[in-house]
Amino acid sequence: MASFLHSAFCFEVINASLEHQDPPTLGKVVKLWNHYVAARGGSGEEKEQRGTAHHESSPGLQNEYASVGPNAPSEAPLFVTWETISSDESRRLRGCIGTFEPLELEEGLKTYARIA
């Protein structure tokens, strides 16, 4: 299942691409998130499970770490979708690409974030 940290990783990939830099690894994004949450007074996992992280409006993402932790699948079918949100909060599809064939998660997200 897609997670907030997968989305953050995709944004970091795009940012690095625009800055002509190498993107961070998914593991680095997870570590940075944990550091950020710890600085705010709690563990990332605890806040995610309580639903108090930044993605409160995204139901279905209650256990963030199940999709990026040690028991996470290394390969999975995946889709990356980018939408724009206008000032009236309407959404428009900006790009989407994916496959039902299992791909290595980090490399697949990195590639599809750029292509979409």
- For residues 44 and 42, give the distance between their C-alpha atoms in angstroms, rounded to a whole number: 6
Return per-residue pLDDT of the chain as tens, 116 residues.
778 899 999 999 999 999 999 999 999 998 998 888 888 886 555 544 444 444 443 333 344 545 676 677 889 899 999 999 999 999 999 999 999 999 999 999 999 999 99
> Does residue 84 sit in helix, strand or coil?
strand
87: domain range? 4-115
| Closest CA relative to residue 12, chosen from 22, 1, 50, 2 | 22
Q: Are 52 and 62 in contact (CB under 8 A)?
A: no
Say how many residues make up the chain: 116
Tens of pLDDT, residues 70-97 = 677 889 899 999 999 999 999 999 999 9
**Structural domain count of the chain:** 1
pTM of model > 0.75? no
Q: Rounded CA gap, 77 and 1, in Å?
A: 10
